[in-house]
Chains A and B, each alone.
Chain A
Amino acid sequence: MKLDDSEQAMLAGEQGPARQWAIEQQIAVGNFFDARDMVPVHQVHIMADTESLGDSGVEFLEKFAGLCWKERHCLVPTVTDPRGIDLESYKALNQEEAFAERERRTIAAFRALGVMMTDTCINYQIIMPPVLGEHLAFGDTGSVIYANGAMGARSNFEGGPAALAAALSGRVPRYGYHLDEKRRGTRLFEVTAQPRSLSDWGALGGVVGRHLESYWEVPVLHGLAARPTSDQLKHFGAALASYGSVALYHIIGVTPEAPNIQSVFDGAAPAPEPVSERDIAAFYRSFGVHADKVDVVVFAAPQLSLIETQSLSRLLDGRRVHAGTTLIAALPPAVKADADRMGYTATIEAAGGTVLQGVCFYNMYARETGIANGWKRLLTNSAKLVNIIQGYGYEPVLANMEACVDAAVAGKMTR
């Protein structure tokens, strides 16, 4: 890889061991993907929940946190993805004190590096929305695909250590979705289904994602009559990235790099693959129903926007969650503060629901927390969550927000 003077200095250790580690990691990954050089980034988003970090990851962060400020601070604005523990709620959720202690150490280390603890996966909605063409190092598949697809910004999946490296070096290796030629469509989906609810949009992402083979595929959707909202694209992209492990999509006539079909393919477009209402219905059916009992109803993955939180509070207003069922909503801290101020938190809690902040359900030690609380039969409106949570020992079912709330009140699915 071609390195500039600053990168050479980092590699030589002239800017301390943290930046040296960072550039070494980036050179290894850059060489792996045949990157020719590095590209500066405007913003970094770090996924670093403590379940993933483990003790070894926390100790790694603490090593850098102990350096002098000049050698340890992030060179570009750096924000965090959800944490593994909500320190205000973990005791009520029967989560272990050891997990909380690991979380406190991680937060202290990140603060020492100058990281802003936003603790959200929807940073693109509530912190600083990406801009067409800007290079970023985003660290959650849902945030990357939103930045690339909905906004036309440029990021690869930068996992926790890679995002940390980007924060310390201020750049990333230039490969994948930083390059014009990698952003062209590879598959065309002709969509006759008309998604309405957030879970419908998630299901659409899941259906398309299940057809995709690898990270390097760029699905193009054509035929959608609806003009999606930001929350709808959020659920669509999060599910598409979760099932397909892809980082970019185009929707003809909706997303900024796709005014028409000709503009997103090199040469003739591939044969269209149909996606119908039947495919969406079959996707829901593939997860079954919980007609006998629902242990836990979850609104998360992605965390809720203020608009989703308002919708949830209206659906729960004056009702009562069944004694045998737990209802959880995971909010970014910034949204939680607004929801508190506007009374949505109080409404949800008055109905017996639990509002968590700064966490998401699957990365808050889902296996241990499920066992501690007797949760197995899970219901959610997140197509992403039903995909992830099976590996943690849950039996997940997908339904729209209204049906999820009805089931939470009845203690089982009634429709």
Chain B
Amino acid sequence: MSDIVIKGHIGIGGAVSGIALVASDNFSARYDLDRIAGVFSRPSHALVGRNYVGRVLILDAAKGGVATSWMLREMASRKMAPAALLLNDANPIMAQGAAFAGLSFIDRFDQDITQAVRDGERVTVDPAAGTLTIHRQD
């Protein structure tokens, strides 16, 4: 096993480890999720049908509208949130939502994280340091 560390911008929230759920697609809680069932529901989303609860969600860019900033906390209150959210490119809504929810959140990495991390890998997220560590099984 080897650790690969990827550097991002300083983020929001606490350090957390978990299993990565990865796709080269974008993210909006309102547009993409069935938040009651805890699965991606938008038919055209790369993760449609996949359960995100407790996963470290790794996607490309923030999309959609403003609702995600309320929804992340609401999802967390029902224990139906991802463990962390990592994006190549955030927008204000995701940062505001993460701050409100206390969700671990980082963006602006030195490489494309949707390519660097394999779906199902174990990762550690450290927003204070702005790092994503992949615990890779060789």
Contact = CB atoms under 8 A, between A and B. Distances in A.
Contacts of A363: 67
Contacts of B44: 390
A388 B96 contact: no
**B31, B41, B66, B97 interface centre (most CB from chain A within 10 Å):** B66
Contacts of A33: 92, 95
B70 A213 contact: no
Interface string B15-53: 000000000001010111110000001111000000000
A48 interface: yes
A56 B69 contact: no
Nearest to A27: B99
Nearest to A162: B96
Given A28-B12, A32-B10, A141-B65, A52 B95 contact: no
B115 interface: no
**B26, B77, B93 interface centre (most CB from chain A within 10 Å):** B93
Interface in A53-104: 53-57, 60
A47 interface: yes
A121 B78 CA distance: 29
A157 B61 contact: no
Contact of B41 (A32, A216, A391): A391
**B41, B63, B73, B78 interface centre (most CB from chain A within 10 Å):** B63
B66 A29 contact: no
B42 A390 contact: yes
A159 B70 contact: yes
Contact of B67 (A52, A60, A162, A176): A52
A139 interface: yes
Contacts of A57: 70, 73-74
B64 interface: yes
B100 interface: yes
A54 B92 contact: no
Nearest to B31: A391
Interface string A138-179: 011100000000000000111111100000000000001000
A54 B77 contact: yes
A139 B90 CA distance: 17
B89 A161 contact: no
Contact of B31 (A49, A53, A387): A387
B42 A157 contact: no
Interface in B104-136: none
A251 to B, nearest CB: 22
Interface size class, chain A? 35 or more
A263 interface: no
Contact of A48 (B26, B61, B70, B96): B70
A52 B70 CA distance: 6
B77 A156 contact: no
Contact of B69 (A28, A162, A216, A393): A162
B103 to A, nearest CB: 12
A158 B92 contact: yes
Say whether chain B's binding surface is mostly helix, strand, loop, or mixed: mixed
A215 B96 contact: no
Contact of B66 (A53, A54, A159, A214): A159
Contacts of A159: 66-70, 92-93, 96-97
A215 B28 CA distance: 13
Nearest to A29: B95
A305 interface: no
A230 interface: no
B74 A52 contact: yes
A29 B99 contact: yes
B50 to A, nearest CB: 14
Contacts of A8: none
Contacts of B90: 32, 215
Given A141-B66, A363-B67, A161 B73 contact: yes
Nearest to A161: B100
B83 interface: no
Contact of A53 (B26, B70, B95, B97): B70
A48 B73 CA distance: 13
Given A159-B69, A242-B64, A388-B65, A31 B10 contact: yes
B89 A215 contact: yes
A391 B97 contact: no
Given A57-B74, A245-B64, A391-B32, A160 B95 contact: no
B30 A388 contact: yes
A276 interface: no
A25 interface: yes
Given A52-B30, A245-B62, A390-B42, A161 B97 contact: yes
Nearest to A243: B63
B42 A215 contact: no
Given A139-B66, A161-B96, A214-B61, 4 more contacts: A56-B74, A213-B89, A216-B91, A245-B91
Interface of B: 9-12, 26, 28, 30-34, 41-44, 61-71, 73-74, 77-78, 89-93, 95-97, 99-100
In the A-B complex, the 9 residue pairs with the closest CB atoms = A159-B69, A54-B74, A215-B91, A56-B77, A162-B96, A161-B100, A52-B70, A214-B89, A391-B42
